[in-house]
Structure formats: structure tokens, C-alpha cells
Amino acid sequence: MADSSAPSSFTILATGQLECAEIPECTNAYLKFQFVAGEDWQLLDGLEEGITQAARVPEGRDGVLVWNFPIDITYKTTNAFGWPQLVVAVYGLDSFGRDVIKGYGCMHLPMAAGRYTMKLRLFRPRSASLLQSFTSWLTGMPAEFSDPKFPSYGEGREVTRVQSGGHVKVQLNLMTKDMDMFGYVDGSGRDPAVSAITQM
């Protein structure tokens, strides 16, 4: 007879903050973020998307845009397929006050419980031709993805031309519950309180 007290799913809880960013030639910006997970993942608590306040680099400082924006999200699922990803898009203002994309970034949440400081590399799409590049420069509208979740997709990424520039620093605390009951081992092999520095 099956144990009625056995869990029907396992849970992951991620808290932390979108701390700051360093982006060449960008002195003011805000960040849009969203979590993307597979179909079997159910949101239990928290917001799957949001937007930070605008940050400005103080004159004479080292070029760091500081947000310290909190994130807090909890999911449950029965399998690890579609493990949650954090997708970010950083927007700044051009000389005419228009919002322009400064960079996209994407990373999976860590799969082991612990405290993490992660450097999320940014990239932005390049125009497909010289004519489109000139038109973008003329109109002040650089190329950007029509689907904000596109950075989290595998399909189509291999034919997308991008250029890198800057990074976002993310601090995360991850906790898991009942993963071992479903045959998953997080493989951390360390004290969950130990910090890890990861570059994505």
C-alpha cells in the first residue's frame, strides 16, 4: 500500500536580489525580469515577472548601476524537465529619452541548495544587414527580440547574431524540499551556507 504521507511533488524556493550591472557606455538603465519554467512546474508563491526602478551612475563613480531589487519565488513539480530560468532585459535611455535595449541575459536557477553570487553575461541582437543597421541607427531603434522569453529558448539561437556587452550581478539563496523522494540528488556535497561564485 502506498504511503499516503509521501509528497506528491518537490519544491524549490529561490530568494535574493538583482544587485547591479556594469554595461559599457550606459549611465542610466532599468531591468525587466521574468522566470520561465516548464509546463509541469507550478508557481506556489512570488512574482514571475517584474521591473526594477531606474538606476543612474553617479558622476565620477565607477560605472556600476545599482538596483538591489528583491526577488522571491517558489515552484513545485514532479520532474526536473523545464528547470526554471531567469531571463533579464536591460533598457536604457538614448539622447532623445527613448527606451533602447542594452542587453539580454538568461540563466538556469542553481540545482543545488546554497547561497550564490552569479554574474549573468549580457548580449543583444545585431541587425541582419548593413541596411538594417543603418536604419536602426537613423531611427534610434536598435534590433531587439519580439518575444522577451526568446533568450530562454534553445531553438533558433544558433542562427541569431548577437554581440556581448556588460553583465548583471545576481545574488540567490536556493532551498529545495523532497527532491530525494523523486530520485533527484542535488549533488552539492557541501554545506548549503557556503557561497559559490558562478559566471553564466
Look at residue 1 and tell me if it is in a domain: no
Average pLDDT estimate for 128-138? 60
More confident residue, 35 or 152: 35
pTM of full prediction above 0.85: no
More confident residue, 139 or 126: 126
> Mean pLDDT, the chain, as a whole number?
84
Sign of CA dihedral 133, 139, 140, 145: negative
Compute the distance between CA of residue 81 and CA of residue 144 in angstroms, rounded to an integer: 28
What CATH number did the domain enclosing 134 receive? 2.60.40.150
Look at residue 2 and tell me if it is in a domain: no
Look at residue 3 and tell me if it is in a domain: no
Report the number of distinct structural domains present in the chain: 1
More confident residue, 72 or 191: 72
Whether residue 1 has pLDDT greater than 60:
no
Look at residue 4 and tell me if it is in a domain: no
Average pLDDT estimate for 2-23? 88
Which of 16, 7, 27 is CA-nearest to residue 166? 27
Q: Could you tell me the residue range of the domain that residue 123 belongs to?
A: 10-198
Whether residue 112 has pLDDT greater than 80:
yes
Look at residue 123 and tell me if it is in a domain: yes
What per-residue confidence (pLDDT) applies to 61? 63
pLDDT tens digits, residue range 51-94? 999 999 887 666 899 999 999 999 999 999 999 999 999 999 87
pLDDT category of residue 192 using cuts at 50, 70 and 90: very low
Whether residue 194 has pLDDT greater than 50:
no
Question: Which three cell numbers, joined as nine digits, stand for 89?
Answer: 532585459
Residue carrying C-alpha cell 546554497: 114
